[in-house]
A and B are shown apart, each in its own frame.
Chain A
Amino acid sequence: MTDSLGQQKPVNIKAQLQACRSKEETFKTLVTLSKTLPRLPTEEKTEENKVKGCESAVWLIIEEKDGLRYFKADSDAKLMRGVLVAILSLVEGKTLVDIQKMDLTAELAELNLSSYLTSSRTNGVLAILSKINTL
């Protein structure tokens, strides 16, 4: 299984985002994080892998191995790729049951990402969360 989070450790991602003191810092951190997300090859950017309801195009692929979930994702918007890195760092390598027990909205709020949930990207991020959570 490829490690879709590159070299970034989840703890690092959390610490980096929590250290942000302004919208601008969060923006810059997300841009930096976005660079760690391996881009999907064109053939995987299918309609089927597309998450509906996002303002930017988002593709999300879920793979299961030994009952654990691994994710690959991409977006045409850089900030969304940063947000994806943050979201996936929370759920990568967990079982579906464990993921479903998590309050992802609250965890993203802890990462200073609430505004990405409440802005017009709302539906998008919620759609991503719901895809992560489903069978």
Chain B
Amino acid sequence: MGERQVEMMSGAAMVVRALKDIGVKHVFGYPGGAVLDIYDALYAQEEVQHILVRHEQAAAHMADGYARATGQTGTVLVTSGPGATNTITGIATAYMDSIPMVVLSGQVPSMHIGEDAFQETDMVGCSRPIVKHSFLVKRAIDIPDAIAKAYYIANTGRPGPVVVDLPKDVVNVQESHPYHFPEKVQMRSYNPTIKGHMGQIKKALKTLLEARRPIMYVGGGAIACDASSLVTELAEKLHLPVTNTLMGLGAFPGTHDQCLGMLGMHGTLQANKSMHNADCILALGARFDDRVTNNVQKFCPHATIIHVDIDPASISKTVNAHIPVVGSIKTVLTQFFEQMHEIDENERKEQLADWWEQIHAWRNRQCLNYQRSDELIKPQQVIESLYKHTGGDAYVSSDVGQHQMFAALYYPFAKPRRWINSGGLGTMGFGLPAAMGAQFAHPESVVACVTGDGSIQMNIQELSTCLQYGLPIKVISLNNRALGMVRQWQDMIYKGRHSHSYMESLPDFVKLAEAYGHIGIKVEKPEELDEAMARCFAAKDRLVFMDIAVDQNEHVYPMQIKYGAMDDMRLSKTERT
């Protein structure tokens, strides 16, 4: 074999070349002084498409939405200082939800680091608590290795964001260096556990099969490793009831008979009741966070908890797991099946008959019913209409607030990666850019963004980016003229003292959408809703902004009662469990 010619190139060219070698198709970014060399290298090629955003926070959310919709790592490119710090909220959002992302940030030249140079920020320091890892690249020849490692770390084990900080002199186009892309990334200090421990798996299976009141509690981890079909197979084989977390919606089909819907603070009655009364909980890629457990002291007192997670630190963090299994959900479930003997379907059904009867009784209380009105559009109704007009098959991103919970509860996602929301950080302003990322990933699919009058204004400038790239996103804005979720808490806890949760000078969103070159539709009457929604989705290649006036006084129910058990809930303004 002849020796391969070593290619010589500048640091900037290496950055772009390494992205190509990794297979990156889209980079969401915004230029500036420290990254001008990299931008110049981007100019001369077509394999890596750069998307020019209007704000770096949005670039991070786009990369995030792209990753959630595909499972592939999202990429961000920003300049030093303000460009880098603008991504912080986006990085934190991705970190909290374990989303694979690589942020390439420019940095002042190495020799000026520490001098408070123009647009200098210690990006590695600023982002340290919200990244999985970070690199400050000191030499051009280290660029391919650092970038390869960044992508490897971001999208293996428990995924997460990785920052690669690139000083301007390191990417300098004037100098050439040999380019070596590592064939395989290996790190002695980083070897995530993928396979579950056999002893633990056997123990888990035995407990699960003996249980009389079992439940599966499925989180975002099952989506991260594409384990949905295995999750469904296990549930069906063992006839288990399943509840999905806010991050896990779609991991098990929301449309399935055995699905109890979402659990937690705004979970369904049947999901929370079943959890509380279960004798065995099989937690798959979920992390028992405070928005699920309510008071941990009162959490599921009868249950033996089997916790499968790829991150050992997630196990027994808030709630003690009786049978911990460290590993990827996908691999561990495959191991489950290998260990499982022939299951007699009728026997299973009989064993769980009483349990299912009880669950049906809870279900029959129909906790998601709501009062319709002739005058006012109910937010729930909007989501139901959205479901109908998208055949339940759209990519739906959401912002944060009441509209988010309505979307989570009233749009039963049948497939994973369709529901794209900021669960852990709860970042208002996430919805529109995340939808854009999903649309870039799936140009032929229907992408809707469920948002509120407050949230949409946090990244509304991206309507301009949508026009530039012809993204036909459907923005479904539930306009209640209020920071509704804040207002709801003020109604419930502060005797209706609406301190600063009212928006007195909302823009005319229809005109605003038009000013950005899109279609705006205002809907004010319940009887207009269906027709307007139809018009919205008929405009296939245009962005449509639906400004839908909804009832300002609607609350999201069910809702857990603070300090209570999982199933201590309010079911409406007047009823509780």
Whether chains A and B associate is: no
Residues of chain A whose beta carbon lies under 8 Å from any beta carbon of chain B? none
List B residues at the A interface (Cβ < 8 Å).
none
